[in-house]
Amino acid sequence: MKDIIISPSILSADFRCLGEQMELLAQAGCDTIHVDVMDGVFVPNISFGQAVMKTIAKDAPLPMDVHLMIVEPGRYIEEFAAEKAVESITVHVEACPHLDRVIAQIAEAGKKPGVALNPSTPLSTIEWVLEKLWMVMIMTVNPGFGAQKFIPAQLKKIEQLRKMIDDRKLDTVLGVDGGVNRKTAAQVSAAGADYLVAGNYIFHGESTARAAAEAIREACK
């Protein structure tokens, strides 16, 4: 098992002081910052746009993973990739009819490419691009809102994806996004995940963000 990467989603942060909230995550020992970009079309919510991203990326204390929950993400890759703090860009297979092309766009922009799969989306949709991906993100909630309940049926998908990755002897990161807390972290880690997006639990689940992050790491051992 690789070391667990904890990537808190700032969708659950206090929007009045995002800079301070990101510093809090760095002090808590988290690894990256997960930024959910939502357009109100692909998902039923609107969150951050390019202007906010540009502002918060200036002094980001940790690398950032931009999760584009938007239609036609290929139109915006270069704009988000322009920010130095952005380490990776994750798009949804359901929003990319030309997924291979978008993956190439991300890589050509100098960022690590990731692909997210909604709960009802089968692993077969990434079978022919898996070798090109830095990360595959299994959504363990239906995307669009924070603080949702974990969908246990996704554990089987995580196990199957771990087998796909291992059978091909790849270094692809296996991410999980949605409903991650102390209990579910242990479950997804045992199933093969090594990159956990946790928003509500990090910001509101324990006495401090550090305590929450440490609880997740301990649960994954």
Q: Which residues are catalytic?
A: 36, 177
Question: In 10 A of CB 199, how many CB atoms?
Answer: 24
Q: Which residues pair with 66 in a beta bridge?
A: 35, 89
Q: Which residue has tokens 């919510």? A: 45
Please state whether beta strands 64-69 and 86-92 pair in parallel, antiparallel, or not at all (unpaired): parallel
Cα Rg of the chain (Å, integer): 16
147: left (phi over 0), alpha (psi -120 to 50) or beta: left
Element (H, E) at 216: helix 209-220
Q: Residues, the chain, total?
A: 221
Helix (H, G, I), strand (E, B), or coil: what is residue 109?
coil
Are 66 and 90 in contact by the 8 Å Cβ rule? The answer is: yes
CA-based torsion, 57, 60, 64, 69: positive or negative: negative
